[in-house]
Structure 1
Amino acid sequence: MTDPQVGTGLIREAKSIMADNARGRVKVETGAKRVRLYLENRLVADTLTPLLVWEKPFYPTYYVPAKDVLADLKPTGESEHSPSRGDAQVHDVLLAGATAPGKARTVPESPLEELRDAVRFDFDAFDWFEEDEPIYTHPRDPYSRIDVVASSRHFRAELDGVLLADSPNSMIAFETGLPPRYYVPITALNQDILRPSETVTHCPYKGAATYWSVQIGEEVRDDIIWGYRTPFAEVQKIAGLAAVYNEKVDIFLDGVLQERPKPRY
């Protein structure tokens, strides 16, 4: 059984991070994972002391201590200003046979002392690993978690009065900072209105998601439904199931219409 004081502490910490960001301060802490990043299979940096920096309140990014950077950084002469982190110098990342133009930043005179000797690499430009596992989109937030539990509450989803999905049960994913997501068998979806989508997104906690759009009359609503065919081991219970955007559709549980959550961002 989880210690309720631990859960309370995590919630308090997450709220503190959001409050600090709202006031213009940025939380910085040293991570416990080995972090490596690669450019075209060439090692750019390897650190045991990555910095987790909450530039946005919802998730962190990594800064790498300069001493652990193996690539050459060439200043471009450009700079970017942040009220909380100071003036950043933009750099090209250079390795033998590989270059990432303008994909690194340093803030040597940052008001945040921890960042002065660190490098921020653009996440999407490199292949990142925590220990020996690849990560996507952004680093995992140590204050976030996902619980997937089975539910026998009858699930129904509609859009403009048209049935999207109907299932006597579901798997509910409870993820920090997000509304519950209800995953049901693909066969529970209204196959007549499903349209394939080429959209693929990556979640650092769940893996790669593929999408369906829906067509109601002549109108196509893009990427309303998604699923994870091969999710990460931690959330295997949603493998092969599908979920709908609570924020965009009407969801009924045991016949009761649920309030639509507001979009997170």
Structure 2
Amino acid sequence: MALAMDKLIRSQLGELRWAPVLQRVRAFAGGAAVVDSTRVRLVWEPHRVVGSYAVPREDVLTELLDAGPVAPADSHPPVLTPAVPFGVHTVPGTAWDFGPADGRQVIKGAGFTPQDPDVDDYVILDWRAFDEWREEDQVVHSHPHDPLKRIDCLTSDRHVVVTVDGETLADTRRAVLLLETGLQRRWYVPRDDIRMDLLEPSPTSTSCAYKGDASYWSFRSGERRIEDVAWSYEHPLHDAVPVTGMLCFYDDRVQIDVQA
């Protein structure tokens, strides 16, 4: 029987996984490099959906201080998103503090080495423990880049209509279809084809490692209000340049109809 690749990948969520990272990766704290490596791996602990950079121990530029053994968490959600702290580990291993250098303080719990022969000479790095990350000389936002993920932005003349309780909010044949590995398809609509008088800016913001910082919009018509019904990338990273300034709507908050 043929294998569906998306199901195959999801079936391995409970395993410790790794993939090579071909670019140089650096982590900074206090303006100075603390990690500098060209031998990087992306490592996913069991049940984590976003990987963490891991480097050989000798590529940590400060002293590694053994913070003691770590046992797997007694309980955890079935899927660990980036919202779950780095310190929640799902395999046994060793925690590391990063020693002081150039006047900086010790960085507590910044690293973890799993008890596994394929990665036991590597240190997995806590994204939030550092001020800045770079791949080669490009700043990386939000979380590590996944070498198994890609984004495609495709112009489309399909008829996309967005409604709320029968009221048309957007109507276009100039949408851009954004496809991102592992996520549902998204339709981005030009503002000229949207009833912008029914939308108002929201204070909500999020960040994506591939698309950049997103701004949000809420719907208001009479007494009807829907918070954060859409988002846009005003200054996107290069993967999302084709959707600059366009709006994308949550399909669980509005009705989105797409026809050929």
Q: Where on the TM-score scale, by shorter chain, does this alignment land: which range?
A: 0.7 to 0.9
Equivalent in the alignment of 2:77: none
- Which amino acid in 1 is paired with 2:129? A
Tell me, yes or no, if the aligned pair for 2:69 and 2:93 is still in contact at 8 Å. no
Q: Which moved more, 1:151-160 or 1:210-219?
A: 210-219
Equivalent in the alignment of 1:71: 62
Equivalent in the alignment of 2:12: 20
Shift of residue 147 of structure 1? Answer: 1.2
Equivalent in the alignment of 1:41: 31
Tell me, yes or no, if the aligned pair for 2:175 and 2:189 is still in contact at 8 Å. yes
Shift of residue 15 of structure 1? Answer: 4.6
Question: Of the candidates 155, 166, 181, which is equivalent to residue 176 of structure 1?
Answer: 181
Q: Secondary structure at the match of 1:59?
A: coil
Unaligned runs of 5+ in 2: 74-88
Q: Secondary structure at the match of 1:95?
A: coil
- Which amino acid in 2 is paired with 1:123? W
- 1:216/1:86 CA distance change after superposition, 3 Å: farther
Partner Cα distance (2:203, 2:121) in 1: 41
Tell me, yes or no, if the aligned pair for 1:213 and 1:220 is still in contact at 8 Å. yes
1:114 and 2:105 aligned: no
More helix by share: 1
**1:96-115 alignment, distance < 5 Å:** 96-99=102-105, 101-107=107-113, 110-115=114-119
Equivalent in the alignment of 1:200: 205
Q: Secondary structure at the match of 2:197?
A: coil
Unaligned runs of 5+ in 1: 1-7, 257-265
Shift of residue 182 of structure 1? Answer: 0.8
Question: Of the candidates 150, 155, 172, which is equivalent to residue 150 of structure 1?
Answer: 155
Q: Secondary structure at the match of 2:251?
A: coil
- Which amino acid in 2 is paired with 1:201? T
Length-normalised TM-score, structure 1: 0.79
Shift of residue 220 of structure 1? Answer: 4.0
Partner Cα distance (1:90, 1:242) in 2: 43
**Seq. identity, %:** 32
More strand by share: 1
Q: Deviations over 1:121-146 (max 9, x none)?
A: 22133211111111112222111111
Partner Cα distance (1:75, 1:247) in 2: 47
Tell me, yes or no, if the aligned pair for 2:43 and 2:124 is still in contact at 8 Å. no
Q: RMSD of aligned C-alpha atoms? A: 2.8
Partner Cα distance (2:19, 2:120) in 1: 14
Q: Secondary structure at the match of 1:169?
A: coil
Partner Cα distance (2:126, 2:91) in 1: 16
Partner Cα distance (2:124, 2:245) in 1: 36
Partner Cα distance (1:218, 1:124) in 2: 41
